[in-house]
Amino acid sequence: MTIDTAGPLNANGVPLPPPEAQVLKNGLPSTLPDIDPSRLTIIRAAVLKFLPEANTLVFGEVPTDHMLYMDFSPDHGWSPPQIRPYGPLNLDPASSCFHYCPNVFEGLKAYLGPDGTPRLFRPQLNMERMVRSAERVALPPFNADALLILIKRLVALEARWIPRARGCSLYIRPTLIGTRPSLGVSASRHAALYVILSPTGPYIRDKDGKGISLLAMSDQVRAWPGGTGGFKLGLNYAPGFAAQRTAAALGYQQLLWLLGETVAEAGAMNVFAVFERTDGALDVVTPPLDGTILPGVTRASVLSLLSHTPLTAALPQLPTDVRLHTAERTLTMSELFAAAGAGTLREVFCVGTAAVVIPATRIGWQRRGGGSADAEVQDIVLPVVGGEGSLAHALWERLVDIQEGRIEWEGWGVPCDVAVA
């Protein structure tokens, strides 16, 4: 008996299994080609740009010479990846990303180690979070390990862009957008994935370079239970721009997002508060990951360092007799104001990829006024502003040492030890 094996083929001429045998992932057949680093092609820029001075760097303003690009369609799966000169994308005006915001991104950094090798800081956590974010907005799935290999190749190619000044780095922005060329309101089965790079210096500073001021508004929220606050999506950011403008008009540099009077995040950063106990020990509190809080890589790293025993091995800049107790629990504005009044609020600091660790100098609470610039604001002025002996200072010093490869710590530093053709 002769069995006819002919059937439908994918774009590469490979027979597709019958529909009942195809495992769906994000609504797409798992048999479609995934990201394949072995198919990478590199097109080098004909003319390289001049490198900016480290002391002139502004976050995200100067792109490097090259970018990584690939796209996905339900017909061919992921295209062969390409590193090519930095430039505009060619997108259909009806693309989903412009109308319904299926846009996902990540933020991580590259540093130069003491041996001159580019290094990444815990990039696997960024890749895992990007996968979760893509699933949340029903974008096509991708192999995170393969994407990380390609990011290393791009960083290695652009290594000359990594600033050598302490606290500076090369910011990496992987981005996944829906490109379905239709106005139909449904998940995008087409996508583009690209990675761009930008050298960066300190993210946020006041005029003295010591910290930032925060304004807490009670009438606007960043995220809510069951929403998308726990994912890194473009749609989470634009609704905060008008509130940020109001904060600036009132003399504050960042928003402290609330849900009711419960503290959530500061701008796009996670928040920590430090309280002093009657016995002199310190409670270090950060809001829990309840779905409204982004699970930050720096947040996870700070909690890990704070819980290390002995603590002085993780944070040698602190006094040897300091005792810390960390907690992930609800933190309210009333608690902050009461502790400030009692003299037990030691410091508040914010953490994130861009800022690393930055202390708050003061916190204002706008309880009413509809977000208007003439509303009543009550202030907390923080007693410790990130100097020697503060927890914020110790954490910044240790994290930067790990990121820049001066200290090896639990495999957090990942070298970009890949060959570039």
Helix (H) / strand (E) element for 98: namely helix 96-99
Going by pLDDT thresholds of 50, 70 and 90, the confidence category of residue 15 is: low
Going by C-alpha positions, the residue among 77, 85, 94, 87 that lies closest to residue 33 is: 77
In one-letter notation, the amino acid at residue 142 is F
Highest mean pLDDT among 146-150, 164-168, 374-378: 146-150
Instruction: Indicate if the pLDDT at residue 143 is higher than 50.
Output: yes
Where along the chain do its domains lie? 25-200, 212-403
Going by pLDDT thresholds of 50, 70 and 90, the confidence category of residue 347 is: very high
Fold agreement (25-200, 212-403): no
* Residue 144: predicted pLDDT: 97
Name beta bridge partners: 173.
196
Instruction: Indicate if the pLDDT at residue 14 is higher than 80.
Output: no
Architecture of the domain whose range is 212-403: Alpha-Beta Barrel (3.20)
CA 399 to centroid of chain Cα atoms: 16
CB 182 within 8 A of CB 420: no
The length of the chain in residues reads 421
CATH code given to domain 25-200: 3.30.470.10
Going by C-alpha positions, the residue among 147, 122, 144 that lies closest to residue 40 is: 147
Helix (H) / strand (E) element for 123: namely helix 123-136
* Residue 130: predicted pLDDT: 98
Q: Which residue has the tokens 């907005």?
A: 137
Distance CA 51, CA 162 (A): 10
* Residue 13: predicted pLDDT: 54
Going by C-alpha positions, the residue among 350, 268, 279, 352 that lies closest to residue 321 is: 279
* Residue 378: predicted pLDDT: 86
Instruction: Indicate if the pLDDT at residue 85 is higher than 90.
Output: yes
* Residue 54: predicted pLDDT: 86
Give 313-324 pLDDT, tens digit per residue: 999 989 888 899
Instruction: Indicate if the pLDDT at residue 19 is higher than 80.
Output: no
Q: At residue 391, what are phi and psi to the nearest 5 degrees?
A: -70, -40
Higher pLDDT, 108 or 418: 108
Distance CA 360, CA 291 (A): 24
Helix (H) / strand (E) element for 359: namely strand 356-366
Distance CA 307, CA 326 (A): 7
Distance CA 351, CA 359 (A): 9
* Residue 31: predicted pLDDT: 83
Give 349-383 pLDDT, tens digit per residue: 999 999 999 999 999 998 765 555 556 788 888 87
Instruction: Indicate if the pLDDT at residue 21 is higher than 80.
Output: no
Measured CA distances, 96 to 28, 73, 82, 99, 232 (Å): 17, 13, 23, 5, 18
CB 269 within 8 A of CB 296: yes
DSSP string across 219-287: S--S--TTSSTTS-BGGGTGGGHHHHHHHHHTT-SEEEEEETTEEEEETTEEEEEEEE-TTS-EEEEE-
